Amino acid sequence: MQQLNYLGTRSVEWREVDAPPLPGPDGALVRPVVVSTCDMDGAVLQGFVPLKGPVPLGHEGIGEVIETGPDVRNVKPGDKVIIPWKIACGHCLHCGRGHTAQCISVPREAAYGWAPTAPEWGGFLQDVVAVPWADTMLTPLPGGMDPLKASGLGDNIPDGYRAIAPHIMERPGADVLVCGGTAPGSIGLFAVGFAKALGAARVVYADHDATRLAIADAYGAETWELTDTWLAGIRQRFDITVDASARAETVPELLRMTGRAGVCTSTSAAVYIAGDVPVPMFHMYRNSISLHTGWVHTHTVMPEPMALIESGAFDPTPVTSRVVTWDEAADALVEPFTKLIIQRPD
């Protein structure tokens, strides 16, 4: 079968690999039909994060079930399903607590695309994907839902949602500040959209990129141009702040702009692999500020943003920069994007 691999900065290649076998009696084989990019895809492809290729590409999207094991109950061949980025069993201690990104039945990094285990599990830009524990891993696509809107539910849409939703529920009418600043930037923009959909009193988006600022403006956010001195003279504080900047120096800045009993979530901490990020711990202690980060528990979080998309309360499509065909994928991926969606012609 054909599989698209990352080789190096702005370099990808289709390769012929063996098709995966059915992964046990509770597993399924799925044919990806719509695949959307994760922010990490863009960061690695453009050379912002070093990674040694070849690595299979793609870890959020929609697929069609083509075969199931005898123990699978929730999906059947022909069903359209949402596939999450992270492998999770659904029955270990962590999965039972809803912490599916830290499933202890598999190695810590077990995921599709990019992770050290990607050669084992592959990516979604291939003809067939093996999905273990299918009843846990696969979520049926609601009837009538546009697959292009749902494709990001495998990773980035829930990531933007978790940065906002739990904290707004505790702080109705909260003021929100989302700081972008590094491409591709879809997660921060999804956070802006969810903040507006969930009734934040004020939503501010800071970035230096005109395209992303325009998307945030379309969502109804107030926009600030991000400069090296963007904090100069700013005395405002926000109930909820989001670090989607991928800039280590932004984290302490945002923590100081987080109000009393506020919360800051970093969705871009994966790119801080080069070293530790200093935080103003005494300031946080004195003001009862919480800092959240970590892989998103997609399986647990997914139902709420999916319901908001289905109801029309939240629309992810303003973030989509381009929709291309499967044959155009290799050329499109090496160009800069905010959110690229790749679909099969059928």
- Tell me, what's the pLDDT at 247? 85
User: What average pLDDT does range 218-226 have in this prediction?
Assistant: 93
Looking at CATH, the fold of the domain delimited by 2-155+297-343 is given as Quinone Oxidoreductase; Chain A, domain 1 (3.90.180)
User: 159-293: CATH homologous superfamily?
Assistant: NAD(P)-binding Rossmann-like Domain (3.40.50.720)
- Tell me, what's the pLDDT at 332? 97
Residue 146 CA to residue 141 CA, distance in Å, equals 9
Going by pLDDT thresholds of 50, 70 and 90, the confidence category of residue 277 is confident
SS (H, E, C) 156-225: HHHHHHHCCHHHHHHCCCCEEEEECCCCCCHHHHHHHHHHHHCCCCEEEEEECCHHHHHHHHHCCCEEEE
Going by pLDDT thresholds of 50, 70 and 90, the confidence category of residue 249 is confident
Reference 219, options 206, 203, 237; nearest CA is 203
Instruction: Provide DSSP, 13-46.
Output: EEEE-PPPPP-STT-EEEEEEEEE--HHHHHHHT
Going by pLDDT thresholds of 50, 70 and 90, the confidence category of residue 137 is very high
Going by pLDDT thresholds of 50, 70 and 90, the confidence category of residue 84 is very high
Range ranked top by mean pLDDT from 155-164, 231-240, 269-278: 155-164
- At 299, is the secondary structure helix, strand, or coil? helix
- Who contacts 247 (Cβ-Cβ below 8 Å, separation ≥6)? 181, 182
Sorted by where each begins, the domain ranges of the chain are 2-155+297-343, 159-293
User: What average pLDDT does range 151-163 have in this prediction?
Assistant: 98
- Tell me, what's the pLDDT at 234? 66
User: What average pLDDT does range 207-215 have in this prediction?
Assistant: 96
Residue 235 has pLDDT above 90, yes or no: no
User: What average pLDDT does range 258-280 have in this prediction?
Assistant: 86
Going by pLDDT thresholds of 50, 70 and 90, the confidence category of residue 230 is low
- Tell me, what's the pLDDT at 114? 75
User: What average pLDDT does range 155-167 have in this prediction?
Assistant: 98
Residue 2 has pLDDT above 90, yes or no: yes
**Cα 188 from chain centre:** 10
Residue 233 has pLDDT above 60, yes or no: no
User: What average pLDDT does range 2-16 have in this prediction?
Assistant: 95
Percent of the chain with pLDDT over 90: 84
Are the beta carbons of 201 and 175 closer than 8 angstroms?
yes
- Tell me, what's the pLDDT at 274? 62
Residue 330 has pLDDT above 80, yes or no: yes
User: What average pLDDT does range 167-187 have in this prediction?
Assistant: 94
Q: pLDDT tens digits, residue range 190-200? A: 999 999 999 99
- Tell me, what's the pLDDT at 11? 95
Least reliable range by pLDDT among 80-89, 249-258, 283-292: 249-258
- Tell me, what's the pLDDT at 268? 86
Are the beta carbons of 162 and 101 closer than 8 angstroms?
no
pTM, entire model = 0.96
- Tell me, what's the pLDDT at 231? 59
- At 150, is the secondary structure helix, strand, or coil? helix
- Is the model more confident about 118 or about 37? 37
Q: pLDDT tens digits, residue range 34-55? A: 999 999 999 889 888 778 889 9
**159-293 has the same fold as 2-155+297-343:** no
| Average of per-residue pLDDT values in the chain | 94
User: What average pLDDT does range 278-298 have in this prediction?
Assistant: 96
Reference 154, options 37, 269, 55; nearest CA is 37
Going by pLDDT thresholds of 50, 70 and 90, the confidence category of residue 283 is very high
Residue 309 CA to residue 301 CA, distance in Å, equals 14
